[in-house]
């Protein structure tokens, strides 16, 4: 199964690469990055998504996000939308990523590390190695907090 | 030159028909209504917009509005976006109709009557009959206000 | 693999049942509904999510949604958050479902039918029957739009 | 046909000049910049808009944007409103550019480059040179994306 | 000195009449209602405001409120803006009544009774009868609260 | 120790009485309702709050809530602000209850039943009867959820 | 007649001084600055406002603005609220300055220069020198725009 | 009685320490800081809150704040939520701290110094030393304002 990160523009490349490196480092998952715009190169988007059999897609597009819904409506595969949070309009263009018409269901996950985690949990449903990586990842997160608590308690001393 | 109103869903039909009747009644402009979804039937949208040479498109789609930008990016013709105002999220999904990426430029006009007026002004650039209709329409709007003022002044009596 | 819909309160039961019936009717997927509160009965939530091996969880909780993140952080399984849209505060408590801390990644999908579709696409990664159902569902959605376009074109006369 | 960019204040001059240069560079369209305030010099605004026969107007005014509606209501010509996005009040004074009364229909297009594109598409309805420029512009935008995809795929290598 | 209530449209007449009756009943102040649109009949607005020497103007206009700033910028007299609160866009088009450019300073007062009070306080600066009425009005408001407190305390019994 | 519910207006009486009955029924706590406005009868507010030695105050005032901060700044006692949620401006006048200047610290709790609970928890710090009532109340809340889960599981049948 | 600028905190001093200098420079109006908090020193606020017979008050207070309504409800004189625009919460605590209860009617004017202008227009109702200054001020504002237009037209050359 | 500040993450440590130092300096109250996440280490949170008999809890957690409601629902003790104000989404994730389900009642107080004051007022109900400190604190706040007024009046000279 493939993991494919589709960016609406090359200006989203930094985000895409951060998701890819989090997938690899935290969960040992390889992924590909592609760039195509639902507005400007829709046939290219369709060609990309049809070139993969089973896959998890991650879509990254800012401003009015047509890409996530467009990909989702044209594939049998699950789609995770992970748009950047705009500093314009109080970030409310996030609504373009979530208020979908009937029959269009990309799944929103903000922040690169969290998008990678959501992908990993889907992959983990069939890949026991990844499942162990998710377990380890969650355990580390817990330990970080427990350690921080210990440090601060001594600091209370 | 054609005027084509593209609806993202049949649930937008009432809006589409109101725009069409305003175009006809106020400006003597014929128009066609088409239904196609940028998310779910993108090839159909492309087929529709490529089937018209010179045209003004009006796009109507609620929630996350991919249609307006999608049509605009794939046609040489001007596109007027006239989405319904949602009562969810304080209508802020309007941002999906205006916060476009570079190279995508649908023109937002709220309310059916105003969308029809915007179309008419573009058509009026080459059609003197329509131009006279716009002039008449604007004069009537002014007269309505002037009459209302007269009525209220006597009411001040 | 199980699909489990967890509601934060019995007041969410109508939503839960709508998701369940959409899962069954549209995709032939059985699911269970459970009720537990991350705020008020956290041990119960933990007990529920630990009682399923491989599963997709759908979480439904209004107002400040602690449930979705809580479930996600404590399971290896993917979690789809599908909160009701509040009519208070312009629905902005949706942010409690999406602005998650690092390491917590529920996936937001609004509207019951869409939540069911998102579940089905994940299940379809291993279940070819469900995959065919998703395909059929998407085809029907397209046909509905194409039929609506035909009707409206004849209506254009 | 003239293209006239009307600014509500000299503080909008940078925006006006960017629209003008985008019109010239991308579409070979000449335009004029004028400065007049609907609030403070309304007669001047009326004088300006009446001094042009057929034209496309672009209006640029920040804060409470009276200019766009004022110009639109007093001309037969189409008006494109392209206000700056304020960083105050989450940019919500954009509503003053779109929530127009009946009979007032400026067309909102955000960002200078997009405003220029919207103008060009209207001009292109009668000017085949401009129409070819729009075509070329859209093709370049597509090619940029396709090239970016190629680069990133090799980067996947 | 005159008090003149200018409405942007006859649809604002109910508001205008409520302000007028509050002015009369609470403060014994006569006022006139006029209707004129800054967008559609700007010369008429100018004619109205220039026909009064010393006056307090109250402006009432919904959606994008050009009227209040337009009146203010073209008169030496104080202007009180009292727009209706829209139920669209969470009422945020109120920003069109307050976020004014430099040199334009209508004074916002929401709700008809309060707009009347604000007018009365300005008039009271030179009219001792009105000043006594304001005093009486404020005393009644205080007494209402004190009586309500007494009632509720006995109710505590 | 007294519990005193101060309402800014008699229009808030229904809310005040609901808080009072929740205090009595759920926690056996008696309370008094008083009405006084920080804007219109500030001396009365000061007189009320100075007439109680040790107390918990609950303040209820809609629109711009001056009452909660005013009471808090003028008493040594803790103050719980429980304003109604306005349906105007998306309820955002809630900010007037929380964005306090330095040295003013009313504690916001929305909804009557929750305000009563917050009061009870403070009282419970010295009153073991009330503390047992809080315990019982929380246990009932948990049991309601557990029962609802049982019902729905049988319903899963 | 006095003009008195009341600040809720010394952190508002820069704003207060800017209003004062604009009053003096643009309109030749003297004013006093006072500092008192409606929350923390309400008796002081009452003492201040009662120490002036006829006056125009300008109130400046950030965050939850109790001061403007408090002053207004306790004086026969007109009150202009000119709060700073917060960069928190998208400036929406402005609602605390405008959504007043019945019988409380401070008049909102944003920005120091505009607040000074609003004061001047009220003073100008009885002071012909100030009235001439307002006229001159407005004329200069118009001339600035007309000059800017001339400059930019030559720039078009 | 203990005062315990619970942070959802070590990234909130600066806030926690500021609350602790304000408690100590302004009110002579000792407090402990603990770190635990309602999402990631819920059992740890439960263990912490159950380890204190009578206490006031202060909870600090950004983004979607599950911690405050979680702590509140699982303790008999009062809970003060004092989340950081996010600069994303116009700070509207504050709603996750206030829009609680029935039976969950953390009390929101923004800003560290104010959170400390709210704690102190609760503690002051049984501790006369703290009560005197609160009195002194409030008196100082008043004096600061009175001094600032004196300074600015001489400055008026």
Are G155 and D33 in contact (CB < 8 Å)?
yes
- Chain C contacts to H (CB-CB under 8 A): 8-9, 37-40, 42-43, 46, 61-66, 69-70, 72-74, 86, 88-89, 92-93, 95-101, 103-104
Q: What is the pLDDT of residues F65-97, one digit of tens each?
A: 999 999 999 999 999 999 999 999 999 999 999
Fold annotation for C2-154:
Rossmann fold (3.40.50)
Torsion angle (degrees, nearest 10) of CA F70, F73, F77, F80: 50
Return the pLDDT at C155. 61
Q: Which residues of B touch A103 (CB under 8 A)?
A: 39-40
Give the tokens for residue D148. Answer: 């970016």
Q: In terms of pTM, does the model score above 0.95?
A: yes
* Distance, CA of A126 to CA of D43 (rounded, Å): 72
The span from the CA of C70 to the CA of C96, in Å, is: 12
Closest CA to E19 of E80, E89, E92: E80
Q: Which residue numbers in chain D have pLDDT < 70? A: 155-157
Q: In whole numbers, what is the pLDDT of chain B averaged over residues?
A: 96
What residues of D are in contact with residue G143 (Cβ under 8 Å)? none
List chain A residues with CB under 8 Å of H88.
Answer: 85, 91
Q: What pLDDT was estimated at residue F155?
A: 63
Mind listing the pLDDT tens digit for each residue in B74-129? Answer: 999 999 999 999 999 999 999 999 999 999 999 999 999 999 999 999 999 999 99
Please report the sign of the dihedral spanned by the C-alpha atoms of residue D40, residue D46, residue D51, residue D54: positive
C-alpha neighbours within 13 Å on the C-beta side of residue E120: 35
> Is the pLDDT reported for residue C157 higher than 50?
no
Which pLDDT tens digit goes with each residue over H112-122? 999 999 999 99
Cβ-contact F29, F60 below 8 angstroms: no
Chain F: partners with 3+ C-beta pairs within 8 Å: C, E, G, H
Share of chain H above pLDDT 90, in %: 97
Contact F114, H103 (CB under 8 A): yes
Pairing of strands G79-81, G55-60: parallel
Under an 8 A CB cutoff, do H88 and A91 touch? yes
**Secondary structure of residue A143 in the 3-state scheme:** helix
The minimum CA-CA distance between H51 and chain C, rounded to whole Å, is: 17
Q: How confident is the model at residue B59 (pLDDT cuts 50, 70, 90)?
A: very high
pLDDT recorded at residue A157: 46
Determine contact, residues A131/A124, Cβ cutoff 8 Å. Answer: yes
Query: Chain F residue closest to G95 (CA)?
Result: F93
- How high does pLDDT run on average in chain E? 96
Q: Cα(H75)–Cα(F131) distance, rounded to whole angstroms?
A: 11
Q: H156 in helix, strand or coil?
A: helix
CB atoms within 10 A of CB H32: 18
**G18 to chain F, minimum CA–CA distance in Å?**
22
Interface partners of C (3+ CB pairs, < 8 Å)?
A, B, F, H
pLDDT at residue B19 greater than cutoff 60: yes
Q: How far is CA E65 from CA C16, E1, E38, G87, G105, in A?
A: 44, 26, 9, 24, 20
> Region E113-126: what's the mean pLDDT?
98
pLDDT in tens, A80-90: 999 999 999 99
pLDDT at E122: 98
Q: Do the Cβ atoms of G88 and H91 come within 8 Å? A: yes
> What's the pLDDT band for A154 if we cut at 50, 70, 90?
confident
Residue A93, min C-alpha distance to chain H (Å): 10
SS3 of G96-123: HHHCCCCCCCCEECCCHHHHHHHHHHHH
Largest CA distance in chain B: 64
Whether the pLDDT of residue H157 is over 50: the answer is: no
pLDDT tens-place string over residues C42-95: 999 999 999 999 999 999 999 999 999 999 999 999 999 999 999 999 999 999
Which percentage of chain H shows pLDDT scores above 70? 98
User: pLDDT band for position A1 (50/70/90)?
Assistant: confident
Strand F79-81 and strand H79-81: the pairing is unpaired
Q: Alpha-carbon distance G58 to G114, whole Å?
A: 12
* Closest residue in H to C101 (Cα–Cα): H63
G9 has binding-site annotation: yes
CB nearest G152 (choices: D35, D41, D44): D35
Per-residue confidence band for A155, with pLDDT thresholds at 50, 70 and 90: low
Taking an 8 Å cut-off on Cβ atoms, the answer to whether D101 and E39 are in contact is yes
CB-CB contact of A63 with B104 (8 Å): no
């Amino acid at each position: 199964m493939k993991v494919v990160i589709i960016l609406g523009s090359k200006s989203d490349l930094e985000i895409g690469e951060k998701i890819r490196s989090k997938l690899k480092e935290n969960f040992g998952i390889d992924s590909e990055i592609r760039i195509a715009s639902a507005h400007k190169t829709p046939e290219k988007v369709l060609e990309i998504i049809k070139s993969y059999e089973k896959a998890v897609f991650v879509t990254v597009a800012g401003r009015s996000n047509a890409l996530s819904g467009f990909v989702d409506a044209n594939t049998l595969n699950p789609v995770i939308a992970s748009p950047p949070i705009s500093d314009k309009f109080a970030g409310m263009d996030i609504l373009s990523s979530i208020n979908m018409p009937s029959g269009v269901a990309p799944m929103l996950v903000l922040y690169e590390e969290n998008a990678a985690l959501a992908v990993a949990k889907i992959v983990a449903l069939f890949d026991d190695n990844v499942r162990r990586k998710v377990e380890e990842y969650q355990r580390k997160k817990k330990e970080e907090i427990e350690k921080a608590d210990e440090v601060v308690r001594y600091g209370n001393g």
